[in-house]
Amino acid sequence: MKRAALAILLLLLFGAARLPLELHLAAAQRAAGFRTTSLDLPLRDQIGQMSFVAALSGFRSLVAALLWIESHNAWADLEWGRMAGLFQNVTTLQPRSILYWDLAAWHMAWNASIAALENKDQPSKILRERAQRQYWELGKKFYEDGLKANPDSAELWEKLAILQRDKFEDHAAAAQAFLTAADKPDAHGYVRRMAGYELAKVPGRETDAHAILRAAYDRGDRQPTLLRVLRELEEKLGVPTDQRIKQTP
């Protein structure tokens, strides 16, 4: 007990010494439009008193890293609900970490959802599929919350688009997320093309898809999928023969 009390006292003293710097950094983050972490009583209940005190004392990244390690143990033990709670705490402590948001969403929407669907202890296929979709939704929420904290992250927008495409098969939502990602400074060059592919699957959006993919073609893009989808769109839209892309040998 004495050692624990001494450790808490030392952390509080260190935190008091850091307080002016923390306040200055917090003001700078708010001025830059960054979201700050709320260290409140629910978080304290979830991560424990010692970890909460450590976070208050300027060790947020360390506490987050330790909780992330614990989440890996939960993953190894197939404790998906516990892992989701740990991910929530980690991202609360480190909301500017793209990696934490991405891996948390991926574990939920892919690993946990597959485990739920293949759960041999649940004989009802309907309930297994419902649990699977709940994990998809949880993964999507991690991406959406991550984007609230990091709205300019091309990576998170792209990963959200992939989730919408591969899990929900919502091609309109996937296209919009790809387009948003494409407008970010650090976006990959292929992202706008991916938006075109998704729009081509949305009834009524063929003209938009054709405009995006034709622009990519005119820039010199000759990806086989792009050529195939463009030709299909040209047929569907009735593009005049002299305006169509050239046939390749």
pLDDT band of 119, cuts 50, 70, 90: very high
- The SS3 assignment for 175 reads helix
Same domain, 48 and 110: yes
CA–CA distance, 202 with 209 (Å, rounded to integer): 9
Same domain, 65 and 127: yes
* Residue 51 is assigned to a structural domain of this protein: yes
CA–CA distance, 21 with 57 (Å, rounded to integer): 12
37 vs 176, more confident:
176
* Mean local confidence (pLDDT), 117-136: 95
Same domain, 139 and 202: no
Same domain, 129 and 199: no
* Residue 21 is assigned to a structural domain of this protein: no
* Residue 14 is assigned to a structural domain of this protein: no
Same domain, 120 and 203: no
In this prediction, residue 43 carries a pLDDT of 42
* Residue 13 is assigned to a structural domain of this protein: no
Return the CA Rg of the chain: 24
Same domain, 44 and 147: yes
Domain-ending residue, one of 122, 151, 180: 151
What digits encode the pLDDT tens for the residues 9-19? 444 444 444 44
In this prediction, residue 2 carries a pLDDT of 54
Domains in the chain, number: 2
Six-digit token pair at 154?
């091309």
In this prediction, residue 8 carries a pLDDT of 47
Same domain, 59 and 125: yes
* Residue 31 is assigned to a structural domain of this protein: no
* Residue 233 is assigned to a structural domain of this protein: yes
What digits encode the pLDDT tens for the residues 18-76? 445 444 444 544 443 434 444 443 444 444 443 443 444 445 677 777 787 787 777 77
* Closest of 143, 135, 142, 145 to residue 81, by C-alpha: 135
Same domain, 132 and 42: yes
Cβ pair 74, 83 in contact under 8 A:
yes
Element (H, E) at 164: none
DSSP E strand boundaries for 55-156: none
* Closest of 224, 228, 248 to residue 236, by C-alpha: 228
**Which residue bears the tokens 């699977």?**
132
In this prediction, residue 60 carries a pLDDT of 65
Torsion angle defined by CA atoms of residues 148, 154, 160 and 166, in that order, rounded to the nearest 10 degrees: 180
Percent of the chain with pLDDT over 90: 60
pLDDT exceeds 90 at position 113: yes
Counting other chains too, the contacts that 76-82 makes at CB distance below 8 Å and 24 or more residues apart are 78/115, 80/108, 80/112, 80/115, 80/116, 80/135
CATH number, domain containing residue 136: 1.25.40
CA–CA distance, 21 with 47 (Å, rounded to integer): 25
End-to-end CA distance of the chain: 80
* Residue 7 is assigned to a structural domain of this protein: no
In this prediction, residue 65 carries a pLDDT of 78
Could you list the residue range(s) of the whole structural domain that residue 171 is in? 161-249
Same domain, 204 and 105: no
